[in-house]
Amino acid sequence: EVQLVESGRGLVKPGESLTLSCAASGFTFRNYIMNWVRQAPGKGLEWVASISSSSSFIFYADSGRGRFTVSRDNADNSLYLHMNSLRVADTAVYYCARAMATAGTAFDYWGQGALVTVSS
């Protein structure tokens, strides 16, 4: 069974940093593009970042470019999102999601989400 489990949720102050982790199991992690998607309270889904299977290609949404860093450890089946200079507007539930092998534009498995609250 495919499982994605996020951790690292928390309450931080504006300007602080936080790292989210996503532990993957039930599939060959090293073969898949992985992604972060967030959802602010009461709002829609927003793509945050994507990383290719070998970390060769990394993409960021404008909202996080220069502040967020996505990385992965294929030996440990883990995905990470390191967030610097956090803003109140970054408050959201952050999901890790797997891109389909045969249709890389679709995300077929999602974690349960990790809540990040940025508040003074």
Partner 1 sequence: SYELTQPPSVSVSPGQTASITCSGDTLGDSDASWYQQKPGQSPVLVIYQDTKRPSGIPERFSGSNSGNTATLTISGTQPIDEADYYCQAWDSSGYVFGTGTRITVL
CB 38 within 8 A of CB 93: yes
In whole angstroms, how far apart are CA 45 and each of 14, 26, 87, 93, 104?
22, 25, 18, 10, 18
Smallest gap from Cβ 16 to partner 1, in A, equals: 26
Number of H helices, E strands in the chain: 0, 11
- Find the binder of partner 1 among 21, 46, 78, 115 (CB under 8 A): 46
Stretch that binds partner 1, among 11-19, 75-83, 84-92, 106-114 (CB under 8 A): 106-114
Verify binding: residue 111, partner 1, rule CB under 8 A. yes
Verify binding: residue 112, partner 1, rule CB under 8 A. yes
**Structure tokens given for 12:** 């931080």
Of residues 63 through 102, those in contact with partner 1 by CB under 8 A are 95, 97, 100
User: In the complex with partner 1, which residue's Cβ is closer, 29 or 60?
Assistant: 60
